Amino acid sequence: MASTVPGQRQIIDVGNFDLLVSQVDHYRSLEIANPVEIPRDFVELEAQLKQESDVLSSYEYNHNFIIPLIKHLNTRADAEEELSNRMEKTYISGTSTDFYSETSDYLFTDSVFLSSTRSDESDTSTTLGWRKGKSLFEIKLTDIEEDAIKAALLYIKVFSKRETSTVCRTTFVAQKMIINLYQDFIDCEISHEVQFCKQPPIAPLLSWGNGPATWTEAHTKSIGLKNVAIVNLPIGNSQGGIFAWTTLAHEVSGHDLLMAADLINELYQNVRDSLRSKGISQDTTNYWVSKVERIDEIASDILGVLNLGPAAAIGLIGYLKGLSPNKKLRPNGPKEDEHPADVLRGIAVANAVDRLAIQNRTQWSSLFYEKVVEDFPSTVNLDGKDISDQEAMRSAEIVSHAILNSFLPVLNGKSLRMVRTWGVKDQQVTEQIGACLSNKTLAGVPAYCKKSIDKQYAKHIIAAATIESLKMHADPQVIFSNMIKLLERA
């Protein structure tokens, strides 16, 4: 970034913002061959997981993820067999005519059917064939089971380095960022002498699928996994779309940390009390606190800013605009949606950036407010109630302030901002890395660009790629490619 005279407003170049917004849907819907294919035969899948898990014998993922997953699938298969046997006995005894015998074309219930050929064309669920004697069971996988299997197979494939496809290379570097965000979480525990959780989770695993979204360790516990989360991104983002990459800060530093540290309830109570004490109307207050998940989402947005800086805020605003058909932030908040209205999320992260201890925080924050206010109508509808734009904005700022500054018993009386925040050094590192990203061949760049960058700066590489891609005349695809190269060397 160009230097300026002290006191002079620095112009932040975001000339490519609309271009990056337009790329969101493109990469989200881009069809890319997934390097991971779930075997349709349960025995084959089990053998593959067991054999390949030897590669990870020194990794805690083997003990916490793969072995428990195999155990869960075995338990699930045994339960399905027992259920099917009971149905068959019921049929043979003549007490029911709802089921066919296993000699018929098929036998099916809500959760299992016997056949190697029958399938409901309208049903896109993944099934596993499980042989037992002469029978073939088709076990319908739940979404979380399918994502867990894909994450396990992808992790094994990537970290055994047996495949070097573009998707696998990208997975490897994305996992580096996730581990970097997680390690910051551990480092903060040590440096601030706080204990976020009794049994710290291991870094989440990446899976290409729906998303951005997270199965927290509370979700994965339901299938037997131990203190590990799964983060999903659309597979098209393995090829580009930098705004989606910034959402990893929301998922990993947000949802996963909040769940592991059991912070949600404390934050919820502080947000509720702050809204009431600041004179916000009952209707607006009720909108925010009617769903605990809504506080989880907005807190994850703000934690993203604390861990990735302005890049997290512009990435969130740009990504939400990109998801909308008219490329504008969604102004209303339906009752059934656990996510706050887009415009409220934008105001909250703009406010959070303005509280960072970095140069040009006011310029960054003002820019974000402008990007949000241009989509803000004079009234918004929250949970079916019309709320003025001024009250809605003020409520989002109060929520942001409460999440940033509440003193939390879980953190030994410290606030989230005291434990972890994006600061001057983070911004300086990001700017230095940014100088490495725009040239196609990395020729003519500072010498340090050609050396390995410490892996602790993985997230700074992504922050730098975001900020550089925003600049007018920058080539986002060149920057994305260089980002991957730098992350590979980190």
Q: Tokens at residue 308, please?
A: 């990735």
pLDDT computed for residue 108 by the predictor: 30
Domain boundary among 140, 175, 194: 140
- CB count within 10 Å of CB 325 equals 6
Task: Specify the range with the lowest mean pLDDT, choosing from 4-13, 44-53, 115-124, 427-436.
Answer: 115-124
* Any domain includes 212: yes
Domain boundary among 80, 107, 140: 140
* Any domain includes 485: no
Q: Are residues 136 and 281 in the same domain?
A: no
Alpha carbon separation from 308 to 71, 103, 460 (Å, rounded) = 37, 59, 7
pLDDT computed for residue 118 by the predictor: 29
Residue in this structure with the two tokens 């098929």, named with its chain if needed = 106
372 vs 447: CA distance, rounded Å: 39
pLDDT confidence tier of residue 119, bands split at 50, 70 and 90: very low
Please say whether the beta carbons of 351 and 368 come within 8 A. Answer: no
pLDDT confidence tier of residue 365, bands split at 50, 70 and 90: very high
pLDDT computed for residue 116 by the predictor: 27
Closest CA to 267 of 468, 423, 409, 145: 409
* Any domain includes 469: no
* Any domain includes 353: yes
pLDDT confidence tier of residue 130, bands split at 50, 70 and 90: low
Q: Which residues contact 301 (CB under 8 A, 6 or more apart)?
A: 250, 254, 312, 316, 345, 348, 349, 352
Q: Are residues 102 and 155 in the same domain?
A: no
Q: How many domains, in total, are found in the chain?
A: 2
150 vs 273: CA distance, rounded Å: 42
Please say whether the beta carbons of 343 and 370 come within 8 A. Answer: no
* Termini Cα distance of the chain: 23
pLDDT computed for residue 101 by the predictor: 35
* Any domain includes 442: no
pLDDT computed for residue 56 by the predictor: 56
Q: Are residues 174 and 297 in the same domain?
A: yes
Q: Are residues 97 and 202 in the same domain?
A: no
pLDDT computed for residue 87 by the predictor: 63
Q: Are residues 170 and 136 in the same domain?
A: no
pLDDT computed for residue 200 by the predictor: 58
Q: Are residues 175 and 84 in the same domain?
A: no
Domain coverage including residue 291: 17-33+148-425
Closest CA to 259 of 217, 206, 199, 209: 217
The string of pLDDT tens digits covering residues 372-430 is: 999 999 999 999 999 999 999 999 999 999 999 999 888 888 899 998 899 999 999 99
Q: Are residues 275 and 244 in the same domain?
A: yes
The string of pLDDT tens digits covering residues 182-202 is: 777 666 655 555 555 555 567
433 vs 449: CA distance, rounded Å: 7
Q: Are residues 154 and 132 in the same domain?
A: no
Q: Are residues 169 and 133 in the same domain?
A: no
Helix or strand or coil: residue 425? helix
50 vs 73: CA distance, rounded Å: 12
* Any domain includes 28: yes
* Any domain includes 431: no
Q: Are residues 196 and 345 in the same domain?
A: yes
Higher pLDDT, 410 or 24: 24
pLDDT computed for residue 8 by the predictor: 43
Q: Are residues 162 and 301 in the same domain?
A: yes
Residue in this structure with the two tokens 């779930």, named with its chain if needed = 38
CA dihedral 444, 445, 447, 451 (to 10 degrees): -120
Q: Are residues 130 and 152 in the same domain?
A: no
* Any domain includes 12: no
What's the whole-model pTM score? Answer: 0.86
Closest CA to 155 of 229, 216, 72: 229
> Is the confidence at residue 114, as pLDDT, over 50?
no
259 vs 244: CA distance, rounded Å: 22
Task: Give the pLDDT mean for 37-45.
Answer: 83
